[in-house]
Chain A
Amino acid sequence: MMAIDLEAPRADDDLDATLLRGVADGDSAAFDELFQRYYPLLRRFLWRFCSDDAIDEVTSDTLLTVWRKARGFEGRSRVSTWIFGIAYRRALKAASAARRHDRARSIAIDPPDTSSDTARHETAQWVDQALDRLPAKQRAVVELTFFADLSYPEIAEIVGCPVGTVKTRMHKAKQTLKPALDRLATTLSLGGRHD
């Protein structure tokens, strides 16, 4: 599970803050460690916003911005919230320049056959495809909620909108995803839990 570990948020937050202070002071070792911590998380987050070719570029741009702007971080939010906010804004720019969804282009949105042993895998693919069809702003809320495990106030700060707007985007996303969510629940009930 690549989600940010909220089971021990204080430890992560303290380490992030320490590393960012080091980065602000020009400490390359601190930047190395912060880079290693966030590189996989940002790549995963950006995956649904950027073309495959652009993921590393936007990830690098994000962490380059962290290096350049570290002195300006005032500690009003968690470091992770600040970094994801930078990534989100860069992702939207990249997405507007070159829309992704090579996978989504050739998608046939047919529900999978739940009677086979591969139903769960097929359902996951179907959900993945449904997510790719969401507008970027709704997709960001879904990803930040269910992948990054962030709270709705944190998401509001990252995407730069009121918490009510975050809830509205989630509501619309759930409406779009409802067939996929129903299918997920049905697959669970047919095949039993697998986690």
Chain B
Amino acid sequence: MTEQREDRDCKALLPWYVNGTLAPDETARVERWLAARPEARMEAEGLGALRRTLAADTPTPGDAALALMRTKARIAADEGRPGWRLWLPGLAAAMTLAIAVGIASWPGEEPTEPAFETLSDAPAPAAGVVVRLVFRDGVSVAQQDALLEAWGATRIDAPGSGDVLAIRLESAVTLDRIQASSDVRFVGQASED
């Protein structure tokens, strides 16, 4: 093997020598090559510094609990997936946690554009409150029922009676939970019992 080729190969392996993922024989090869080349050691120093810089360079922490809740809501609404009811206990727990930490007035980031439009600026409804909502096109009655059960809500109108559904919230959930669903187009409080 020529020295030129050894130089080229070891230079190409240097980033993975720095992150420690080379095979033992490759590591030994790069170390022999580095021993005779101060300029290459300097490059390795720079790559090591880059690695440390990247490790310290992080985005704003996300809200894992909220992200998990939203992902599960999408899964629950995934038509044709058998056994979706298995998700409800965890989904309910995630929703309860979100309520407990005051998600409705969360001051932090809301990274995505809301997937809904509100029908009113009404405050969060209490238990027994009637809410009107419109699901997005393509959400089947079965999916709607799954979501309503997850929210602790029951239909007032019969299924298929119109685009705008009237539902009654059986527990003290807020509109935010419903608004978080990508399957909902409009939601708003209708009246109080």
- Interfacial residues, chain A to chain B (CB-CB below 8 A): 1-3, 6, 26, 28-29, 32, 35-36, 39-40, 43-44, 47, 52-57, 59-60, 63-64, 67-68, 123-124, 127-128, 131, 142-143, 145-147, 149-152, 154, 167, 170-171, 174, 177, 180-182, 184-185, 187-188, 195
Contacts of B19 in A (CB 8 A): 145-146, 149-150
* Complex interface bits, B63-79 against A, C-beta within 8 A gives 1, otherwise 0: 01001101110110010
B83 in the interface (beta carbon within 8 A) = yes
* Complex interface bits, B1-45 against A, C-beta within 8 A gives 1, otherwise 0: 000000000001001101111100000000000000000001101
- Interface pair A56/B47, CB less than 8 Å apart: no
- Interface pair B52/A39, CB less than 8 Å apart: no
Count contacts between A and B, CB distance < 8 Å.
128
Contacts of B72 in A (CB 8 A): 28
B112 in the interface (beta carbon within 8 A) = yes
Q: How far is the CB of A61 from chain B (nearest CB, A)?
A: 9
Question: Closest residue to B113 on the A side, CB-wise?
Answer: A53
- Interface pair A185/B87, CB less than 8 Å apart: no
A47 CA / B75 CA spacing, docked (Å): 24
Contacts of B15 in A (CB 8 A): 145-146, 170, 174
* Interface of A: prevailing SS: helix
- Interface pair B90/A29, CB less than 8 Å apart: yes
Q: How far is the CB of B105 from chain A (nearest CB, A)?
A: 19
Question: Closest residue to A164 on the B side, CB-wise?
Answer: B12
* Interface of B: prevailing SS: helix
Q: How far is the CB of A159 from chain B (nearest CB, A)?
A: 15
B159 in the interface (beta carbon within 8 A) = no
Residue among B52, B61, B90 facing the most chain A CB atoms (10 A cut-off): B52
| Known contacts A28-B87, A151-B21, A44 near B75 by CB under 8 Å | no
B104 in the interface (beta carbon within 8 A) = no
- Interface pair B57/A6, CB less than 8 Å apart: no
- Interface pair B57/A146, CB less than 8 Å apart: no
- Interface pair A146/B47, CB less than 8 Å apart: yes
Residue among B15, B18, B51, B56 facing the most chain A CB atoms (10 A cut-off): B15
Contacts of A146 in B (CB 8 A): 15, 18-19, 47, 50-51, 54
- Interfacial residues, chain B to chain A (CB-CB below 8 A): 12, 15-16, 18-22, 42-43, 45-47, 49-62, 64, 67-68, 70-72, 74-75, 78, 83, 86-87, 89-90, 111-113
Contacts of A182 in B (CB 8 A): 46
- List 16 A–B pairs whose Cβ atoms lie within 8 Å, in order of A's numbering: A26-B83, A28-B89, A35-B71, A36-B68, A52-B111, A53-B111, A54-B111, A60-B71, A68-B78, A127-B50, A145-B15, A147-B54, A170-B12, A174-B47, A185-B45, A185-B46
Question: Closest residue to B62 on the A side, CB-wise?
Answer: A43
| Known contacts A29-B90, A53-B112, A147-B55, A188 near B49 by CB under 8 Å | yes
A59 CA / B112 CA spacing, docked (Å): 12
Question: Closest residue to A141 on the B side, CB-wise?
Answer: B15
- Interface pair A32/B90, CB less than 8 Å apart: yes
